[in-house]
Structure 1
Amino acid sequence: MNPVNTKPYVLPSNATWLITGCSSGIGREIATLIASKPNLRLVATARNPSTLSYLPDSPNILKITLDVTSPASIDAAFAAAKTHFGADFYPDVVINNAGYSLSGDTENATEEEMHQEMETLFFGTVRVTMRAVELMRQHKEHRGGLIFNISSLAGLVGLPGHAFYHASKFAVEGFSESVAREMHPDWNINFCIVEPGGVKTNFEGHSKAHITPHPAYAVADMPARKLEHYVNMGIKKGVGMIEPSAVAETLFAVASRGERVPLRLPLGATAWKLARAKFEGAIGELEAVKGISGMGVEI
């Protein structure tokens, strides 16, 4: 299997960061952190650029519209960055953060709801990633870069009531791992799949969409209803929830420490423990079907 991120990544002192979904939450905290570094350049994006008013006005900061579901919008955003920063513009670090959660009874999801979720979280990540890879690969003087694709614990563990959110995050994980293995080592293009657990953001607000409830799943002992109760109790108490500023600081540390970039990065004790339990459980399941998997032949 082709190895990934084989060399230490050295962040340029004047690196340009391009971040999607900067209107709130993790994206806002990362943008705020980068904007506080006078030697760094920032392309901060959101569907509504008025939500970026918290960022200072500076030649090193570009605040622009970007709808990741629109190829034309992505083209326009990269063109605007090139106009602002110069013809040799390319992003040293890209953070694909734009997205929202879709929850509810899967049987009642509409075609529009399921497609829009995949368009935003998966295909939006694909579009921005590959546009960035092209620029990182082609730049002659400073070839290379780092792409953080924000996945989630939901990209590792499937739970009831969030099927299309899980599907999009699982897709981001598979896509990122595959593309990372396509990179030639000399290109020095690094990928990091970020897998936070619960984060203290307004994800329960405008960044969360709900499928219309299905009456067949309404009773309290249904798995999704039990999970909702547990999650709501945890959110109210703040149990296992990560500060978005801590996520921002961690990603900046990974980019700037001058070491090899991890392909996967679970964030928070809950994510780390559940990820480990997932993989340990998978080993047990593999052992249980060893004879069947080998079709009667010891492996």
Structure 2
Amino acid sequence: QRSSGHRDGRTVVSTPRRPHARTGKFNTVVGFYSATKHALEGFSDSLAQELDPAWNIKVSLVEPGSFKTAAFNDTNMIMVPQHPAYANPALPVSQFRGAFLKGSGQEVDTAADLALADASLAVAKIVEFAKLPDPPLHFPLGKDAIAMMRGKIRALVEEIDKYELWSDGLGN
């Protein structure tokens, strides 16, 4: 069963009535964080299409991978034990958790392997990127970000190919 409720005074969300089914036991913050990133991407895509090129306003999404920052230290990130329902190492939530634990120096119970990149080098690249006269809409930064984006594109193409024939005979 699902129920709708208001969160943050503006966002209407559908939340499971089973507390153990929320966002892989990270908590709802991760769900809202991911939803916000997707919303920003959709907004930016739409905005970029609506702007008159004569205005010379550029829209870009800097989409960084994982970088070593203070967010990954033991003081700023404390992980609770993983719920057994999400312990399958093949699940994305388990891999994500493993990457965070590895970055924080805490114990890692999963095969996830993440090499955290240097944040100061990323900042220099972002400054350089900001000076481009015609920047792209999407700017994945970091080898892991590029790999994730390519994986997402591959999965999307596979999904489209799988159901493409369903559109045959619709008259368009």
Per-residue CA shift, 1:53-88, capped at 9, x if unaligned? xxxxxxxxxxxxxxxxxxxxxxxxxxxxxxxxxxxx
In the alignment, is the contact (CA less than 8 A) between 1:177 and 1:263 conserved in 2?
yes
Question: Quick check: 1:180 aligned with 2:48?
Answer: yes
TM-score if structure 1 supplies the norm length?
0.40
Per-residue CA shift, 1:105-125, capped at 9, x if unaligned? xx9xx965xx38x7xxxxxxx
Aligned residue runs from structure 1 range 4-153, under 5 A: 115=8
Q: Rate the CA distance shift 1:295–1:253 in 2: closer, same or farther, 3 A.
A: same
* CA distance in 2 between partners of 1:220 and 1:214 (Å): 7
Question: Quick check: 1:220 aligned with 2:95?
Answer: no
> What's the offset of the Cα at 1:214?
9.6
> What's the offset of the Cα at 1:195?
0.5
Match of 2:153 among 268, 274, 279: 279
May I ask how many residue pairs the two structures share in their alignment? 144
AA aligned to 1:171 is: A
Partner secondary structure for residue 266 of structure 1:
strand
> What's the offset of the Cα at 1:263?
0.6
* CA distance in 2 between partners of 1:296 and 1:208 (Å): 53
AA aligned to 1:282 is: L
Question: Quick check: 1:260 aligned with 2:134?
Answer: yes
In the alignment, is the contact (CA less than 8 A) between 1:235 and 1:241 conserved in 2?
no
User: Which residue of structure 2 lines up, in the alignment, with residue 198 of structure 1?
Assistant: 66
In the alignment, is the contact (CA less than 8 A) between 1:197 and 1:266 conserved in 2?
yes
In the alignment, is the contact (CA less than 8 A) between 2:72 and 2:104 conserved in 1?
no
In the alignment, is the contact (CA less than 8 A) between 2:63 and 2:141 conserved in 1?
yes
* CA distance in 2 between partners of 1:188 and 1:209 (Å): 44
In the alignment, is the contact (CA less than 8 A) between 1:195 and 1:265 conserved in 2?
yes
Question: Quick check: 1:242 aligned with 2:110?
Answer: no
Consecutive unaligned residues in structure 1, runs of 5 or more: 1-106, 119-158
Q: Rate the CA distance shift 1:229–1:189 in 2: closer, same or farther, 3 A.
A: same
Aligned residue runs from structure 1 range 150-161, under 5 A: 161=26
Q: Rate the CA distance shift 1:225–1:297 in 2: closer, same or farther, 3 A.
A: same
* CA distance in 1 between partners of 2:130 and 2:98 (Å): 37
Identity of aligned residues (%): 26
Q: Rate the CA distance shift 1:297–1:195 in 2: closer, same or farther, 3 A.
A: same
